[in-house]
Structure 1
Amino acid sequence: MARHRLAAPDPRARASARLGEGGLFAALILYRDYRLLWVSSVLTQIAQWMLQVSLGWLMLELTNSPFWVGLNGFASGLPFLIVSIPAGALIDRLDRRNLLVACQASALGIGLALAILTTLGLARPWHLLVGAFLNGAALAVNNATRQTLVPTFVPREGLQNAIALLSAGMNVTRIVGPSLAGPLIAAIGSGGALFAQVGCLAIALVNTLQLPSRQDTTRVRLPFLRNLAEGIDYVRRSSVLVGLMLLATIPTILVFPYIQLLPVYARDILGVGASGLGLLYTAGGLGALTGSLFIAGFRRIEHKGRFILVTTFVYGLIIIVFAYSTWLPLSLVMLVLGGVLGSSYMSINNTLLHLNVTDEVRGRVMGIYMLTWGFMPLGALPMGFLGEQIGVPHAVALGAALSSLAILALAVRIPALRALC
């Protein structure tokens, strides 16, 4: 009698089955190292939101100028333009866990210096700008490094779930960070809020130290500048990657800078003060969390390209409505809806980037992706300037309208985006 040997189980099928058993939070339940990375990332981002709210409010108190508030956003985003691509090359050459530790330790030191200056009453606008710039540099490298570690800890079949859960965690921080910072500023001042964010960073650093060193010991041996050029060329030769980068860039320049101007909305347009400012940030974060969990709950989303094009287009329209609202409930609803759409498109965009690159160039590609966040100051500075000239609502609405029009043009010019599944 012939003996039939059972076929070995497909590893991908086993991974998919395990993810299915884990449900919505599969990656967090199944993968210990990813869980450590997630917790560390969430704590770091809570600290970053607390820093952003505290510095934005303090800058408004010191200068009484929307332009200076926008300039502070410019200073925090400018390092993404300067260091993101070189950081990507470093990520492909160095131990990624140790690089993450160095970034978080640097941010902790910067935050501590700002907290001391503020508490002693010595903080000046230029201190805030320098601190925002240095912190932005640490954050740019931190974020790119964090992104490259996700595929190290989670198999390909679980990437959509893992990336969406990480995005959900980041969006939880949009709720927790401002909701902590606003009341803290009102109760004990910006200095106290800054010390609290230093505490969050310290806990995050302890968590990061528990991560294993990068298992893949492959090192890129090409000269540093050649590594940079190779990464840029890798993206340039792919219309899909170019399209995904543009989808990340357009709203970053034209829509996201409204976040930097929320202190102006809280004080001058809606009249809700520092505690109300935290509520505005929280509304956007609640919507973004909802969107991320929506994406995480799906094993697979078909027609991903069409999905991100539509959500990005509608996102701009939602922010136009928010821009002209002078009624707090309507403003909060629009921020929630905008958060849902924004986080949904970013989660899928990020997933598609990881699925379309190899690990050898992942650091450089994600460095270029982080560069797109550096374009925010290119929108924040002129939006702050326009806010003083024509009014903040007109400036925010103009940027959002231009973003939606640009997304339409992108959908027409790069058909490969519409075809992504």
Structure 2
Amino acid sequence: MTVRAFLFYVSSFLAFLCGHSVNYSVIMYSQDILNSDLISGVGFGLCFGPPIILGWYAGVLCDRLAPGRLILFSQITFMLCALVLFFGNYLASDMMMKASMIIIGAFLAGCSWSFIAPARFATLAQIVPEKSLHGATILLNLLSMVGFGLGPLLIAYTHSGFGWSGVFISIFIGFFLATILVFFVPTQGSDKVRMKVSAEIREGLHAVAAKPILSQLLLASVLAYMLMGPMQVLLPRIASSELSLNEIERGSYLGVLALALIIGGVLCMILKRRVHDGMTILIGTMIAGASIVAISQITTPITSGLVLLFSGIIGGMIVSLIVAGLQAEAGAGVRGRVMGMYTITSQITPALSGLGAGILSEYLGVVWGLLICGMLIVTAAVISMGKLNVIRSYNRAM
């Protein structure tokens, strides 16, 4: 591994850790301070909503400009988000103002997520050899999942010592360090003739349509990321209300995902030539959905944690195989746009499923909300098993 690649991975880890911590902060702050699952769901939706528009533009820019510039833009926006959340908590005198600052901060986070993921995948393609891109993509995705898993622990320990203001300042510092490291990873833009943005978006869509494995992997990513919304929005509430865990215990419970995702990503790297990519994705999604159903019915912390661990391992393998497949199968000329589409699915799907989970929890209770979400995912996975025929036979190892 080159020094440039190492610095890139460190920067990516810090950015993903702090980015996921923003998402969790919006959820936990809304539930703990504002006492509203609805605002929690709306805020989570805004964390992931903007890519439905900006994601298309981000993909085009990744194929045009030096992706490092887009990383800088997104991380500086995340830093602004952290400051908005900090001042909202520190200065706002009433709950309405605090809620407004949460909504603004969540929207800024959503704008940042639109660019940071496709830009980092585009950067990776410039700093590692083509033959190593599949494994390098799994590693980068693993760092994202570890950040997702460690986010609750970062929040728990900084909040216990310094309150919510300390959480938001730690997020700001993390993004600041990640931004400094980006300057040591130079990237280049494309010299191809530029068309209108709409024409380049259509070119990317045509490239996906012309290669069925790309379109079906994107559909599989929608299915896989349906898992994320309910888990991020409802698991914190499950931990406190159903499992009766205190703040540190709740952070540790949610942090089980960190260990699970690490194991899943590492297993994917070790077994990448031994597992069948397509069937692992389809069957794994079905099993992970069933795990959510099980968690909704479990009232003992140890059992719930073990099921969460198992579900996270499966989820880590699924997402790693999907993103590595997209990165490997997309042509160099449209890779940014393809990964931009992946970013849209990976952000919009959790936003919508998280919003739906929040609404269900608000009116039916957290147990029923999680149960219904899990059953819907299992149903969708069963249908996909019959419909996604190209993925069923897809295996990069062959």
Partners of 2:171 and 2:220 in 1: CA distance: 31
**Cα distance change of structure 1 residues 346 and 175 upon mapping to structure 2, 3 Å threshold:** closer
Q: After superposing the two structures, state which structure 1 stretch, 131-140 or 391-400, moved more.
A: 391-400
TM-score by length of 1: 0.88
Q: 2:115 aligns with which of 138, 141, 147?
A: 141
Equivalent residue letter for 1:194: F
Question: Equivalences for 1:118-129 in 2 at 5 Å?
Answer: 118-122=89-93, 124-129=98-103
> Secondary structure of the residue that 2:307 maps to in structure 1?
helix
Q: Distance in 1 between matches of 2:272 and 2:2?
A: 17
Instruction: Give the secondary structure class of the aligned counterpart of 1:221.
Output: coil
Q: Once structures 1 and 2 are overlaid, which stretch shifts more, 256-265 or 364-373?
A: 256-265
> What secondary structure does 2:6 align onto?
helix
After TM superposition, the structure 1 stretch with the greater mean CA deviation from structure 2, 155-164 or 343-352, is 155-164
Separation of aligned partners in 1, 2:272 and 2:244: 43
Q: Name stretches of at least 5 consecutive residues in structure 1 with no aligned partner.
A: 1-29
User: Does 1:356 find its partner at 2:329?
Assistant: yes
Distance 1:255 1:45 in 2: 15
The one of 302, 318, 342 aligned to 1:369? 342
Task: Give the counterpart of 1:41 among 12, 30, 36.
Answer: 12
Q: CA deviation at 1:400?
A: 1.9
Of 65, 75, 85, which residue of structure 1 is paired with 2:56? 85
Q: CA deviation at 1:296?
A: 1.7
Identify the match of residue 174 of structure 2 among 200, 222, 228: 200
Deviation at 1:175, TM superposition (A): 4.0
Say if 1:164 and 1:296, in contact at 8 Å, map to a contact too.
yes
Instruction: Work out whether residues 265 and 316 of structure 2, in 8 Å CA contact, stay in contact via their aligned partners in 1.
Output: yes
Query: What's the CA shift string for 1:196-221, capped at 9, x where partnerless?
Result: 1111111101111111122x643351
Following TM superposition, by how much is the alpha carbon of 1:231 offset from its aligned partner in structure 2, in angstroms? 1.0
Partner of 1:95: 66
Where does residue 213 of structure 1 map in the other structure?
187
CA 1:169 to 1:254, structure 2 compared with 1: closer, same or farther past 3 Å?
A: closer
1:248 maps to which of 221, 242, 245: 221
What is the percent sequence identity of the aligned residues? Answer: 24
Counterpart contact for 1:54–1:185, Cα < 8 Å: no
**Contact 2:259–2:309 (CA under 8 A) maintained in structure 1:** yes
- Alignment partner of 2:184: what SS? coil
Mapping of residues 310-321 of structure 1, within 5 Å = 310-321=283-294
Give the secondary structure class of the aligned counterpart of 1:358: coil
Q: CA deviation at 1:186?
A: 2.6
Deviations, residues 61-102 of structure 1 (Å, cap 9, x unaligned): 333122221111111111122211111011111111111111
Among residues 96, 109, 113, which one is paired with 2:80 in the alignment? 109
Residues in 2 aligned to 1:146 and 1:50: alpha-carbon distance in whole angstroms: 18
Question: Aligned partners of 1:254, 1:170: CA distance in 2, in Å?
Answer: 16
Supply the distance in 2 between the matched residues of 1:219 and 1:280 (Cα, whole angstroms).
49
Query: Secondary structure, in 3 states, of the residue corresponding to 1:211?
Result: coil
Q: Which letter does structure 2 place at the counterpart of 1:355?
A: A
Question: Residues 85 and 107 from structure 1, CA distance in 2 versus in 1: closer, same or farther, beyond 3 angstroms?
Answer: same
Matches of 2:180 and 2:268, distance apart in 1:
30
Rounded Cα–Cα distance in structure 2 between residues aligned with 1:219 and 1:142: 23
Asked if 2 retains the 8 angstrom alpha-carbon contact of 1:239 and 1:414, the reply is no
User: Judging changes above 3 Å, is the alpha-carbon distance between structure 1 residues 168 and 203 closer, same or farther for their aligned structure 2 residues?
Assistant: same
Cα deviation for residue 113 of structure 1 reads 2.6
AA of the residue aligned to 1:327: T
2: distance between equivalents of 1:180 and 1:326? 25
Indicate the residue corresponding to 1:272 in structure 2: 245
Which residue pairs with 1:333 in the alignment? 306
Report the structure number with the largest CA radius of gyration.
1
- Indicate conservation of the 8 Å contact 2:123/2:187, yes or no: no
Q: Does 1:324 align with 2:262?
A: no
Q: Distance in 1 between matches of 2:363 and 2:109?
A: 30
Secondary structure of the residue aligned to 1:360 is coil
Q: Is 395-404 or 189-198 further displaced after alignment?
A: 395-404
Q: 1:24 matched to which residue of 2? A: none
Displacement, 1:112? 1.9
Query: For the residues of structure 2 that align with 1:80 and 1:324, how far apart are their CA atoms?
Result: 34
How far residue 121 of structure 1 moved from its aligned partner, in angstroms, is 4.2
Contact 2:74 2:113 in 1 (8 A): yes
Check the 8 A contact 1:291/1:343 in 2, yes or no. Answer: yes
Question: Which one is further off, 260-269 or 283-292?
Answer: 260-269
Shift of 1:410: 1.7
In the comparison of the two structures, how many residue pairs are matched?
A: 391
AA aligned opposite 1:145:
A
Partner of 2:263: 290
Q: What is residue 416 of structure 1 aligned with on the other side?
A: 390
Aligned residue in 2 for 1:25: none
Distance 1:332 1:269 in 2: 13
TM-superposed CA distance for 1:239, in Å, is 2.1
Aligned-pair Cα RMSD in Å? 1.8
Task: Name the TM-score, length of structure 2 as normaliser.
Answer: 0.93
Matched letter for residue 242 of structure 1: S
Q: CA distance change for structure 1 residues 332 and 225 in 2, over 3 Å: closer, same or farther?
A: same
Q: Counterparts of 2:86 and 2:27 in 1: how far apart (Å)?
A: 14
Task: Kindly state the Cα deviation for residue 254 of structure 1 after the two structures are TM-superposed.
Answer: 5.2
- 1:309 is matched with 282
**Structure 1 stretch displaced more, 332-341 or 109-118:** 109-118
How far apart are residue 236 of structure 1 and its match? 2.4
2:159 paired with 1:185: yes
Closer, same or farther: CA 44–335 of 1 in aligned 2, 3 Å: same
Q: Return the alpha-carbon distance in structure 2 between the equivalents of residues 121 and 158 of structure 1.
A: 49
Q: Which of residues 207, 219, 222 in structure 2 aligns to 1:234?
A: 207
- 1:164 aligned partner: 138
- Structure 2 distance, partners of 1:148, 1:400, is 33
User: Aligned residue for 1:55?
Assistant: 26
Return the alpha-carbon distance in structure 2 between the equivalents of residues 89 and 175 of structure 1: 30
Deviations 1:366-416 (A, max 9, x none): 111111021222111121111122221222222222222222222212321
